[in-house]
């Protein structure tokens, strides 16, 4: 497999195997007009298997989404084909309009203008709950 190097962009590394596509969807990477490569089940000495996403373009990334989807991820920032920054993304305390409440009785199901806001309630288990109805979000 041959994936070219990146001139300016990002490498989202150390994604838990199987979560790469979910991060791709949450970041809405399909809407970008730049090359994006998703590598699944890559070998890793540290993790056994991992997923990797390479984005060849200086595009805005919602780091909160990455912290929610997989808090063990590292984001490598590439400029002029060189690693210039390595970020570890903490789990955000709140998420707004990233995930949506699936409870049909929640106020967000009736009132479309209301933001979907989830609060981190259990950091060890990566649990987020809707601030309106307390429903648990699922990844």
Residues 67, 107: one domain? no
| pLDDT tens digits, 26-55 | 999 999 999 999 999 999 888 899 999 999
| pLDDT tens digits, 112-131 | 899 999 999 999 888 999 99
Residues 48, 31: one domain? yes
Q: For the chain, give the percent of residues with pLDDT over 90.
A: 75
Residues 78, 20: one domain? yes
Residues 32, 59: one domain? yes
Q: Is 126 within the bounds of a domain?
A: yes
Residues 118, 71: one domain? no
Q: What is the pTM of this model?
A: 0.83
The chain-wide mean pLDDT, for the chain, equals 91
pLDDT of 138 higher than 90: no
CATH of the domain at 22: 3.30.70.140
Residues 24, 81: one domain? yes
What does residue 126 show for φ and ψ, rounded to 5 degrees? 60, 50
Residues 76, 99: one domain? no
**Domain, as residue range, for 115:** 94-130
The count of structural domains within the chain is 2
Q: What DSSP string runs through 28-87?
A: TGGG-SS-EEEEEEEEETTTEEEEEEEE-S-----HHHHHHH-TT-EEEEEETTEEEEEE
**58 Cβ contact partners less than 8 Å away, ≥ 6 residues apart:** 8, 9, 79
Residues 73, 22: one domain? yes
Residues 112, 78: one domain? no
- What is the band of 4 on the pLDDT scale with cuts at 50, 70, 90? low
Q: Is 2 within the bounds of a domain?
A: no
Residues 68, 107: one domain? no
């Amino acid at each position: 497999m041959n994936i070219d190097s990146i001139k300016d962009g990002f490498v989202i590394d150390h994604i838990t195997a199987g979560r790469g596509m979910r991060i791709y969807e949450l970041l809405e990477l399909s809407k970008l007009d730049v090359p994006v490569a998703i590598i699944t089940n890559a070998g890793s000495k540290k993790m056994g298997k991992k997923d990797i996403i390479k984005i060849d373009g200086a595009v805005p990334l919602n780091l909160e989404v990455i912290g929610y989807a997989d808090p063990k991820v590292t984001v490598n920032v590439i400029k002029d084909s060189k690693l210039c920054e390595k970020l570890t993304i903490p789990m955000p305390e709140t998420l707004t309009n990233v995930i949506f409440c699936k409870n049909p009785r929640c106020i967000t199901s009736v009132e479309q203008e209301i933001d979907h806001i989830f609060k981190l309630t259990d950091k060890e288990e990566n649990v987020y709950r809707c601030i309106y109805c307390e429903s648990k979000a699922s990844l």
